[in-house]
Amino acid sequence: MEQHVSEQYDDPAQADEALAEAAHDVADVEDAEDTAAELEAEETYDGDETVDVDGADEIAAIDDDQTVDEMTGEITDATTDATTDEDEADEPAEDVDPLEAFRRELWSKPGDWFVVHTYSGMENRVKQNLENRVHSLNMEDYIYEVVVPEEDVAQIKNGQRKMVKQRRYASYLLVRMELTDESWAAVRHTPSVTGFVGHSHQPVPLTIDEVIHWLKPAFEEAAAEAEAAAATTGGGAVAAPAKKPIEVADFGINDSVLIVDGAFATLHATITEINAEAQRVKALVEIFGRETPVELSFSQIQRV
């Protein structure tokens, strides 16, 4: 190219100037080609989209059980995260005091607790009648719950020992309600109800502690036994929790019975003491005109 330009110009200065212009034109052409290539690349990829070859290879190498954090780009193992979550779920929850949990449950319930007096032996019948009246009188928004406090008691009947439900307080039941003239009348006029405990027309509701005492959940006794056992294991001398008395349905103190077996068979006796645990009684038997104390088993006597 330089030789061709030199042949066209006899003057060396003119030839050098022509060469410089030609080189400048070539540079412009190359710049134009580069710009066209960049424009074509921008049309192929949207906006700021770029392709990182090394990053693409790294993403392709990620397993199905791994995830990529969009913010940090860190790769985490999904299996490890799931295992960690399961371990956290398997951790035992903090021990919750059952008495405190029961107290919170009582606080969360609407209404106040009132004590209602009934005829003796009619507690469950009153409960059923009152619940029916609440439904028929549309008092569900004022009278919420009727409870007859009960407990499990061991009872011996016909020589067999079994656990039975027994009323904790005879002739009483608890009603959780909003006290209004209408709700008061619905309870007071229920058959076999004699009235509210306290002021007849403005009864005073029970406190939470009083409600707990009336209902006396079974877990209280279990907790007392557990505490006594723990204290005894620790070497401390504590009094054992009192055992529930066992009731005998067949006999009672001062009952007259007939002895049906043993040396005193066919004689009558009067019961003076009952040992339900051993299923034996102490009784007085009249022998030769004098009362003689004897000890008999339940199977040896029969109520007359």
202 lies in the same domain as 275: no
193 lies in the same domain as 283: no
* DSSP class per residue in 212-230: HHHH--HHHHHHHHHHHHH
Say how many domains are in the chain.
4
Tens digit of pLDDT at every position of the chain (304 positions): 544 544 455 555 665 666 566 666 656 656 656 666 666 655 554 444 444 445 545 544 555 555 555 555 555 555 555 555 555 555 555 567 788 888 888 889 999 999 999 998 899 999 999 999 999 999 999 999 999 988 777 766 666 677 777 788 889 999 999 999 999 999 999 999 999 998 878 899 999 999 988 887 655 655 555 565 655 555 544 444 455 566 666 778 888 899 888 888 888 899 998 887 778 889 999 888 888 899 988 888 888 7
Angle between helices 98-108 and 208-215 (to 10 degrees): 120
Q: Which domain holds residue 293?
A: 250-303
pTM of the model: 0.51
Q: Does residue 243 lie within any of the structural domains?
A: no
Question: Which position has the token pair 């877990």?
Answer: 219
159 lies in the same domain as 211: yes
CATH classification at residue 203? 3.30.70.940
82 lies in the same domain as 188: no
In angstroms, the CA 235 to CA 288 distance is 55
